[in-house]
Chains A and B, each alone.
Chain A
Amino acid sequence: MSNSFLMSAKQITKVFHQGDKNLRVLKGVDLNVHRGEALCILGSSGAGKSTFLHILGTLDSPTSGHVFFNGENLFLKNEKELANFRNKHLGFIFQFHHLLSEFNALENIMMPARIAGDSKSACKQRAEDLLGLMGLSDRATHFPSELSGGEKQRIAIARALMQKPDILLADEPTGNLDSDNGERIKNLFLKLQRELNLTIIVVTHDQNFAQSFPRVLKMKDGLWH
C-alpha cells in the first residue's frame, strides 16, 4: 500500500438495509490524505459525506473497501485495537459537540487521556493549556449546560486535541453555530493546521466555510462529484 499517505480509503461502499430496500449511501469512494493537509468534504445533506467521515474514523465499518492509516489496514484490527487507535491517533469533533453532560469542561477535555490510563494530575496541566488556547480558562469548572454553543464546540475541539492526534475529523463543526462563532471555529481549524501541522478532514455543507480550505472535495449521491 502507498505509504506516503497518512490516510487512504479504497473503494469504500456503504449499504444500509431498510426493510426490503437497500440504501447505497457510498458507491466506491477513494481518498488519499497527506500528513498536514487540511481537507474539506463539501456536500448537501444525504450525500454520504458524514457516513464516509465516520468510516474514516472507524466509528462505522464499510460494506466493502478498506481504510489505511500509515499503510495499515484499519478494519483488520480488533475492537480493542481500534479503540486504542481512535484514542491515540484521532480527534473527533461533532456537529452537536457531544460533551459529556455530567462532567465539567476540564474533565471533558481530560477524558481521552483518562481513557488512555493517565491519572488526573498527569493530564490536568495539558487540559488547562488547551483550555487557555481556546480562550476558555475561566470556564474550567463549568458544566456543558452552563456554556454557550460556541464555547461547547471549542471545549470539544480542545478534547479532540488532548491526545495530540494525527488527524482531526470534524463533522459539520459549525452546523449548529451562528455565523460569528462559525467563523471563529473555522479560523481556529486553519490556525491549528498551520501551527501544529495537523491533518484536518472537515465535512460541511457550507460553501463559505469550505472556501478557506486549500483542498475541497465535493460529494454527491455517494460519489465524488
Chain B
Amino acid sequence: MFNLWLAFRSIKSKKNFNLTAIFSILGLSLGVASLVVSMVILTSYFGTLKKTVIDIYGHINMVRNLTYLPDKKIEDDIPEDLRKDILHITPFLNASAVSVHNGKMSAVFIQGFDPVTVNKVLNLKSRSVKGDPPFSGKDYSQDENPPIWVGKRLAEKFNLKVGENLNLVVPTNNALENFDPKVQQFNVKGTLSFGRYDYDLRYLITNVKALKEFADLKDRNFGYRIKIKDSELAPEFSKKFNQSLGSEKYWASSWRSINSNLFAAVDFEKWIIFFVMMIIIVVASFNVASTLFVNVLRQFKDIAVLKSLGLPAHQIKRVFLLQGMIIGLVGYTLGLILGFSLCYGFVFAQEKWNILNSKVYKLESLTLSYEVFDLFVIAVVCLLICFLATLVPAAKGGHLEPMKGFGYE
C-alpha cells in the first residue's frame, strides 16, 4: 500500500503530471479506443447478423426430404436424448414464386408459418416496419384475399402500399407432367425489415395454410424451425440431429451454417484485427515508457533521498511499475469511454448515412453489443504491455546509486 501511495503521489505531482504524461495517457487511450471500437463493432456485427438469422430461421432449420412423408409428428422422429433441450418447434413451408405488381415482376421466396407456434420460435413481429406485425393474433379469415407481409425493399421496388393486393404466380404440375402457372392475389398487411438487404428484396411471409392452398402443397410441411435452450449449441445439435435422424428423413442446419462463411470470416477477422490494433497499444506503450524514463530522470534526487532513508531497490522498482500500471489503468478507462462513445457515434452515422453498405455487408442497421471477455482481454493486454514497457525505467530507478542522485554536491 505504501508503494502504491508513493506511486500515486508521484504521478499526480506537478513535476510529473505534465503534458508529456498527458500525451502518453492520451496515446494509450487512443490505442485502447481503437481496439474497443474494432471489437465492439465486430461483435455487434456478428450479434446483429446472428439475431437477424435467428429471428427468421430460429436456432435450427430442419428441412424434410421430399420423399419422406411421415404419418406422425416431427417430435416423434426426434431421439429422446435431444428432445430435452428443445424448447419449441414450428412448421414452415417454402415456395418460390414470381410477384407481379404495377407492371413490374420479381422472383420471390414465400415462407408460410403456423400462426399458433411461430412466435415461440421466431421473432418476425419485431421485424415489422409498416402495417400489422405478422402473426399478431389478428384474424384475416374473412378477408377476400389471404394476408401477406413483404420485405421493405420489395415494397419500395413495387411501390407497394399496405392494404394493396399483390399478384403471385407459382408453377403447379398438371397431369401431363408439364407446369401450369397458378396466380393468386394476396393482400399486403405490412412490410418487414429482415435486417438483410437480400432478404428484404426477396422474402414474403404468409401463413402456412394459405401457402399450402396456393402452391397446391396439400399436407406437406417442408420443414421445421426449432428453438433450443442455448443458441450457441445449435451447430452441435444440428450435427447430432443429422447423425441420429439420417439424411433420408431430414437435413438440419444451425443458424451459424445459414451464413457459415460470413460468421467464420467475422470470427477470424476479429482476432486478426485484435492483433493489428494491439500494435497501436504497443506503440503507445513506448510513450508510457519514455514518460516514465523522464520521470526517473526528474526524480533522481528523490530516489536518492528515499534510498538514503532505507527504501530498497526492489521497492523503488515497484513504485515505478505501479506508476506504469496506474497510467495503463487510466489510459484503459479513458480508452473504454472514448471507444464506446465512438461506437455509439458510428451506429448513429450508420443509421443516418449507411456507412456500412447494406448491399455488401448484408445488414441494414447495427445493434451495439460487446463481450465482457473482449474488454477483459483488452485490459489485460493493455496493462501487460504497460508493465513490460515500464520494466526498463523501473530497473533504472531501482539501480540508481544514491550518490549519483545527489550529484556529489
Beyond A60-B403, A96-B409, A103-B9, whether A117 also contacts B2 by CB under 8 A is: yes
Number of residue pairs spanning A and B whose beta carbons lie under 8 angstroms apart: 75
B293-330 Cβ-contact flags toward A at 8 Å (1 or 0): 00000000110111111111111000000000000000
The complex places the Cα of A112 from the Cα of B301 at a distance, in Å, of 16
Q: Which of these, B311, B401, B406, contacts A94 with CB under 8 Å? A: B406
Write the chain B residue with the least CB distance to A100.
B302
Asked whether B305 lies within 8 Å of A86 as measured between CB atoms, the reply is no
Q: Which of these, A84, A101, A112, A163, contacts B15 with CB under 8 Å? A: A101
Asked whether A86 lies within 8 Å of B409 as measured between CB atoms, the reply is no
User: Which residues of chain B are near A83, meaning CB under 8 Å?
Assistant: 307, 310-313
Asked whether A57 lies within 8 Å of B305 as measured between CB atoms, the reply is no
* Nearest-Cβ distance from residue A154 to partner chain B, whole angstroms: 17
Dominant secondary structure of chain B at its interface with chain A: helix
**Does A80 reach chain B (CB closer than 8 Å)?**
yes
The complex places the Cα of A192 from the Cα of B302 at a distance, in Å, of 27
**Does B174 reach chain A (CB closer than 8 Å)?**
no
Asked whether A88 lies within 8 Å of B310 as measured between CB atoms, the reply is yes
Count of chain B residues with a beta carbon within 8 Å of a chain A beta carbon:
25
User: Which residues of chain A are near B402, meaning CB under 8 Å?
Assistant: 54, 59-60
Asked whether B308 lies within 8 Å of A102 as measured between CB atoms, the reply is no
Beyond A59-B307, A60-B402, whether A102 also contacts B13 by CB under 8 A is: yes
Asked whether A114 lies within 8 Å of B2 as measured between CB atoms, the reply is yes
B394-409 Cβ-contact flags toward A at 8 Å (1 or 0): 0000000111001011
**Chain A: residues with CB nearer than 8 A to chain B?**
50-51, 54, 57, 59-60, 79-80, 83-88, 92, 94-96, 98-103, 111-112, 114-117, 159, 163
12 example contacts (A-B, Cβ-Cβ < 8 A) are as follows: A79-B312, A86-B307, A86-B310, A87-B311, A95-B409, A98-B304, A98-B308, A99-B305, A101-B15, A111-B306, A116-B310, A159-B309
Enumerate the 6 nearest inter-chain pairs by beta-carbon distance, A residue then B residue, closest first.
Answer: A87-B310, A83-B312, A102-B13, A59-B402, A86-B310, A60-B403
**Chain B: residues with CB nearer than 8 A to chain A?**
2, 9-10, 13, 15, 301-302, 304-315, 401-403, 406, 408-409
